[in-house]
């Protein structure tokens, strides 16, 4: 796939990543208790700051594009909101009130609150308490029965989707009356008291839900499971009973992201980003592996080469263990990099266990894939 940028940032896995608002800075966690802030100099990403307030492995990072605040969470059961002041990043502790590791954190679209998933079967919805000058939380507990693995906010700032290792994807209301006005009706429902379950879905199997994503309009929800399934529901056409499910032949996906209203990118243990289409007839269709056009072309081995290979390695095959893909290990996160005014994603970013961060240009897909418009 042409038009992609490959950045070799680490030799160890990238646990999570996020971008600032104008995409001039990048924050990642190198599978430990640190957060590295990168800035681009002379075409290369260089570490500008290292944040070490957490005492255990960082599991989630998110950067508010407007306010510039960074929020992080970790296995130490803590979360911090960071602000850049006086040439340094200063943390403010968040009162999460959880007794298990935090697993993921996401700012809401209006940046007036954020949500933290955890192994305590709790989603902590956090907002700023001006009277006490700290961040407090309200808990969503029921009907969560296991670790919250993924979160994604609805564009309206009130609803949040959560994937869980109890095999369910759910949509909750996060309406906090102390800081925001009463929400309007959506296709997900009318009544939205805090913690209300607006919808609950299963892929029909037994797979942990690794990733969830709302479409740009918020009418669709996609999720991926550990049983090698991809699922999409369109609440504006058919409602909760019309879930499209595909169980594919590849290894399970760990992340998914809507890039247009009808197209989804997934990635996971197979190391390839994969494009899917979901049309107005509720048909979920596999389109292509986005790395497929760049597979290595190796000629057939001659008889002498086969003999030499068998003599040295006891096999007739080649010894090259490199994958025919840009990522050389599992893709663990997909994020939006460049979005146009209509909400469509022009570029998206992937990171993974191989320590690579790749920026993919959706425009370059047009010559390879018919029937989809980006």
Total Cβ atoms within 10 A of residue 152 = 24
**Predicted pLDDT at 371:** 44
109: three-class secondary structure by DSSP: coil
CA distance 268 to 220: 21
CA distance 363 to 2: 9
CB-based burial label for 181 (10 Å; 0-12, 13-18, 19+): exposed
Contacts of 19 (CB under 8 A, 6+ apart): 25, 26, 27, 63, 335, 337, 349
Kind plus residue range of the DSSP H or E element containing 312: helix 303-313
CA distance 53 to 78: 10
Q: Take residue 206 and report the two structure tokens written for it.
A: 């037994």
CA distance 65 to 78: 22
Total Cβ atoms within 10 A of residue 27 = 23
Model pLDDT for residues 93-122, shown as the tens digit of each residue: 899 999 999 999 999 999 999 999 999 999
**Predicted pLDDT at 44:** 85
Total Cβ atoms within 10 A of residue 316 = 12
**Predicted pLDDT at 306:** 54
Reply yes or no on domain 5-365 having CATH 3.30.300.30. no
What are the C-alpha distances in Å from 70 to residues 80, 84, 155, 182, 185? 8, 9, 20, 27, 31
- Distance, CA of 140 to chain centre: 21
Task: Find out whether 74 and 58 touch, Cβ atoms under 8 Å.
Answer: yes
Contacts of 179 (CB under 8 A, 6+ apart): 112, 113, 127, 128
Model pLDDT for residues 166-203, shown as the tens digit of each residue: 999 999 999 999 999 999 999 999 999 999 999 999 87
**Predicted pLDDT at 249:** 87
CA angle 233, 256, 187 (to 5 degrees): 30
CA distance 290 to 274: 6
Total Cβ atoms within 10 A of residue 297 = 6
CA distance 200 to 220: 13
CA distance 182 to 177: 7
**Predicted pLDDT at 316:** 52
**Predicted pLDDT at 296:** 45
Ranges of residues in the chain whose predicted pLDDT is under 70:
1-2, 292-320, 365-374
Task: Find out whether 147 and 210 touch, Cβ atoms under 8 Å.
Answer: no
**Predicted pLDDT at 203:** 76
**Predicted pLDDT at 134:** 87
CB-based burial label for 29 (10 Å; 0-12, 13-18, 19+): buried
- Backbone φ and ψ of 309, nearest 5°: -65, -45
If phi over 0 gives left and psi between -120 and 50 gives alpha, with beta otherwise, what is residue 319? alpha
CA distance 361 to 3: 6
CA dihedral 163, 149, 15, 134 (to 10 degrees): 100
């Amino acid at each position: 796939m042409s038009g992609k940028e490959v950045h070799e940032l680490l030799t160890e896995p990238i646990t999570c990543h996020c971008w600032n608002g104008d995409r001039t800075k990048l924050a990642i966690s190198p599978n430990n208790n640190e957060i590295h802030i990168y800035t681009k100099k002379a075409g290369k990403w260089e570490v500008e700051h290292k944040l070490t307030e957490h005492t255990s492995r960082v599991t989630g990072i998110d950067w508010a594009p407007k306010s510039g605040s960074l929020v992080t969470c970790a296995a130490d059961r803590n979360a911090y909101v960071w602000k850049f002041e006086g040439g340094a990043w200063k943390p403010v502790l968040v009162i999460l009130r959880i007794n298990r590791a935090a697993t993921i954190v996401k700012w809401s679209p209006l940046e007036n609150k954020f949500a933290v998933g955890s192994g305590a079967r709790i989603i902590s919805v956090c907002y700023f308490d001006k009277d006490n000058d700290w961040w407090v939380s309200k808990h969503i507990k029921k009907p969560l029965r296991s670790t919250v693995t993924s979160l994604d906010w609805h564009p309206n700032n009130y609803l949040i989707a959560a994937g869980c290792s109890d095999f369910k994807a759910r949509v909750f209301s996060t309406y906090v009356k102390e800081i925001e006005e009463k929400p309007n009706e959506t296709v997900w429902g009318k009544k939205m008291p805090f913690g209300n379950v607006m919808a609950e879905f299963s892929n029909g199997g037994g797979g942990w839900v690794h990733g969830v994503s709302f479409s740009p309009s918020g009418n669709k929800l996609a999720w991926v499971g550990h049983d090698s399934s991809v699922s999409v529901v369109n609440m504006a056409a058919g409602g909760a009973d019309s879930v499209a499910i595909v169980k594919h032949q590849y290894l399970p996906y760990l992340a998914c992201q809507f890039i247009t209203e009808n197209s989804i990118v997934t990635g996971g243990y197979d190391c390839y980003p994969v494009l899917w289409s979901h049309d107005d007839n509720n048909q979920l269709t596999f389109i292509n592996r986005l790395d497929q056009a760049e597979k290595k072309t190796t000629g057939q081995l001659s008889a002498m080469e086969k003999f030499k290979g068998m003599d040295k390695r006891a096999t007739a095959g080649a010894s090259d263990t490199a994958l025919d893909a840009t990522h050389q290990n599992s893709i663990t996160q997909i994020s939006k990099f460049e979005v146009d005014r209509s909400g469509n994603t022009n570029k998206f970013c992937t990171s993974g266990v191989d320590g690579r961060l790749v920026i993919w240009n959706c425009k370059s897909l047009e010559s390879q894939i018919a029937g989809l418009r980006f």
